[in-house]
Amino acid sequence: MKKLFLLLILFAISAHAQTPETKRYTKVPKGYLMVLKQGDDLFKELEKFAITENIPSANLTGMGFASSVTFGFFNSQTKQFERQEFKKVEIASLNGTIAQKLGKYSIHAHGVVTGRDFTAHGGHMLFATVGTGSVEIMILVHDKTFVRQYDPKIGADVLCLENCK
């Protein structure tokens, strides 16, 4: 009975351990390298990473394949994003920040994608799902917590560096 109990405990622990198939990032000298695979939600994986590693704030850069990317162009009159989705594209460039907003992580990313015809589209990334292949992201972690807060003058969130509320 004792052996069966120990085997059950070992099975439970191994079932929750990261495997090479589920591991999404590794520590490197300058921060972290994240590799997302087909079907991964880019923003959800970045948020899970930030929570797990207790990241104060960070900058990120990346590239790869996406089955779907939605960009938003911020309309300063309506204070809303005008959205457009692109499917089966390559992410030629991805840049962004991880900060805090109201006690939660806020990921702000911009990018450029290209299609089969080599036409480029870009802007503020709202959603992205990894396509065939992968997305590679280098994450440079900062030693300070930066806060994204609403600026009423422009009607949008802005990264605050000091004296943040």
Each residue's pLDDT tens digit, 5-64: 444 444 444 444 445 567 899 999 999 999 999 999 999 999 999 999 999 999 999 999
Q: CB–CB of 36/24 below 8 Å?
A: yes
Q: CB–CB of 65/129 below 8 Å?
A: no
Structure tokens at 47: 């948020």
Each residue's pLDDT tens digit, 86-104: 999 999 999 999 999 999 9
State how far the Cα of 100 lies from the Cα of 14, in Å rounded to an integer: 33
134 bridge partner residues: 37
Q: Which CATH number fits domain 30-160: 3.30.1330.80, 3.40.50.620, 1.10.3300.10, 3.50.50.60?
A: 3.30.1330.80
Q: What is the dihedral of CA 165, 71, 26, 103, to 10 degrees?
A: 20
Indicate the domain borders of the chain: 30-160
